[in-house]
Each structure stands twice: as C-alpha cells, then as structure tokens.
Structure 1
Amino acid sequence: MKLQTKKIVLAGVLGAISIILSVTPIGLIPVPNLSGSATTMHIPAIVAGIIGGPLVGALVGLILAFSTMNLFFAMGVNLVACFVPRILIGVVAFYIWTGLKKGNVGIVASSLGATFVNTIGVLGLAVLFGNFTLQQIAPIIALNGTLELIFSAIIVLPLVKILQHQFPSK
C-alpha cells in the first residue's frame, strides 16, 4: 500500500487536531456523570479514515491514543482500552463508508459506526479489564454515547464534503 504525500499531510494535520482536542477543553464537552465529559476527539480519526483510507485513519487514531494516555492513566484504565478502539475508529469509518458505496449516507453511517466503536470499545474494555462496573458505565454510554453520535453525525459530513475536493476518492 503506497502512502502518498497528500495522505501523509492529511494524517499529520488531522493528528495535530486530535492532539489539540485532547489537551484543550475544546475536545471535551462537560456532562453530569462519572466521566465528566463527552468527547469530540475521535472526529479527526473518522475524517481521516473516510478521506485517507484505513491506514491514515488508523494512524490518526494512534496519535489520538497517545495524546489521551494521560486521561487513561489518571482514571487507572488499562491502556488496551485507550489504544485498540482509537486505532479502529478510522478503519471502521473507511469500511462502512466504502461498504455503503460512499455518498452522504455512507459518510453519516460511518461517522456513527466509528463513534460507536470508540465509545463502546473504550468503555467496554474498561469494564472487561475491571476498571469500572457495567452499572458505572451505563449512564456514560447513555449520555456520552448519544451526544458523541449526534456531534459526530453533524460535524463529519460537512468536513468530509469540504475535504473531498482536495482528496478525491478513486
């Protein structure tokens, strides 16, 4: 798989945006539950997967995982829960998008699917590794998951439509 210069630049820019979202309050929306906030930090990885392909999406997800490790350390959560779902965000987004023959419906569906993978993946692995109980996680999934799905669907579509002009699919 050949990684073109434009895709490397895309990964760098979206990776930088992921870092900015993870170290500033911009990427965290305050919510009244155990987590304290819902996130928009996963959105650059979704866009990277749709526009740049699964490798670029995985790379931006990896950058996101590294930039959010401090949050996982602070909560005592296993790093597998930090890395695996984050790396899969862009990969899942790409395959849902291409599976639905691209288009606007595919973009929205891929943003929802990738957001679901992030939210359920991170929280599910945290429960699996014994960091939290299902009773602690259920309100987070209900509130954060819903907000993250809504934000993702609203934000990803116009971003992808704009970027598709610079990065046309083949």
Structure 2
Amino acid sequence: MKESGKYIVFRVNNEEYAIDIDRVIAIERVENISPVPHLPSYVKGITLSRGHLVPVLDIKDIFYHQSLAIEDEVRTLVLQGEGFEYGLLVADTKEIIEISSNQIEKIDLLAHFELSYMAGVANLNARLITVIDTAAFIRTLEGMEEIDSYINELKQEQQAT
C-alpha cells in the first residue's frame, strides 16, 4: 500500500466506503442500463460509458442484498478492472479525501475470502471509512468471468458491423 493517496468516499446504507481515486475513470449519472438475463441479481445490466460497454453492479445488493433505488443523487463510479471497466452504483459520492497508510487499520475479520476486498478501515477522527481494494473486490464476485465474456462478444459484434 502506498504512503498516502486520494480516495473517493461514497455511502451505502449510511456507511462510508472509499476507493482509490486512481482506479476511478469517471463519475456519471445513471442512464440507460440495459438488463442482461441470467446474471447475478447485483448485475443491473450494461451501459455505454465514453464509448465502452460497461457492466453496472449494484454495490448495495452486493453488500446488503438490497437493491439501490435509482434517485437523482445515485451515481455510477466507472472503475478500471483488470480485464474490463465496470460501473458501481452508489447512493452518492460524498467527497475526495487524502488518507495516509498509517490511518488505515487492518482488521483480522476482513481476511475472510468474502471480505478480502476490504483493505482496512480508515480511522479519521471518529469517522470510520472502509477502504475497498477494487482489484480484490471484482475477483470475489460470482459471474465476473461470464460478464467479461459477454462484454467481449458484444465488442466483437460491434467491430464486425
């Protein structure tokens, strides 16, 4: 982990989470999500972002098994994954903050595979923010290989036309 960095903070169920700003490509309004059948419930579909097909994941569904209601303040964080870009639906983006590595505490409970994407908890003057490792996050989700294949097929079809 680097000494310090900038993180974008967002809210899910009144809890705060942070993602390294270097992994964020864009913050967009939610528009035109096309559903894709036979994928996990947290995959809301695909959308077009800056000319790329991007799967859209509902982080509230992933964390709490509840769908996020699409309202004006809901945003899509478009993130760079290892094989493809993907979008995370979040209730709102609160701010961009600087967090140093000594402010992030590792929690033993987070070592469990299903929580391995949680890099730790930033303790900022009684404000606790869970820091997410986006590379580990995408690896823990079921169906990501299928989504990657689906996106690649759509790209090939677009290139052929």
Q: What TM-score does the superposition give when structure 1 sets the normalisation length?
A: 0.30
Larger fraction in strand: 2
Q: What TM-score does the superposition give when structure 2 sets the normalisation length?
A: 0.31
Larger fraction in helix: 1
Larger radius of gyration: 2
